[in-house]
Amino acid sequence: MKLEFFFDYGSPYSYLADVQLAAFVERTGAELVYRPMLLGGVFKATGNSSPAFEPCEPKRSYGGREMARWIAHLGVPFVFNPHFPINTILLMRAAVAAQHAGVFESFHRAIYPAFWADGENLGDAEVIARVLGAAGVDAKPLLEATAAPEVKGELRATTEEAVGRGVFGAPSFFVGDELFFGQDRLMFVEAALAGA
């Protein structure tokens, strides 16, 4: 059964979801399909915003404590990126380009830790190139491809598709037409896969 993962590297909860997915796929046998989208575009289309900008201070404070609990529970390296919020449009276009070039797996393995464990400024093309180079990925053709109409168009179309299917944030998962939002909903995703 296919499991679609709509994500943006700028979402810390998408990072927390991602670190769980290898074991999840091994356990369930699901076919994982990565769907890079632009979270800023989703927010704009739906009127939503980042939990980091929650106007209710007690809720925002609780959200920070809850994230810390999940980080400890999952045992993953994490730093809140000091450059946040980062405009991820270049990065997400590069992800699409990496899929086209057949290097997405290496790209993906390098980017999430750089963003949420190392605190790199991944809105900067030079930083992206350095991070990818250290991982053995040639960033030059990927960054050049971010200007290609087909890459820009695909990211836009995926973002619009996500909104059209009910997505309002990240991470968002689909099993068939059923939407599951949040890294803490994987138990329900697994049940859906088992019943499909």
Given the residues 11, 49, 106, 172, select the one marked as catalytic: 11
- What is the secondary structure of the chain as a DSSP string? -EEEEEE-TT-HHHHHHHHHHHHHHHHH--EEEEEE--HHHHHHHHT---GGG-S-HHHHHHHHHHHHHHHHHHT------TT-S---HHHHHHHHHHHHHT-HHHHHHHHHHHHHTS---TTSHHHHHHHHHHTT--HHHHHHHTTSHHHHHHHHHHHHHHHHTT--SSSEEEETTEEEESGGGHHHHHHHHHH-
49 is catalytic: no
| Active-site residue set | 11
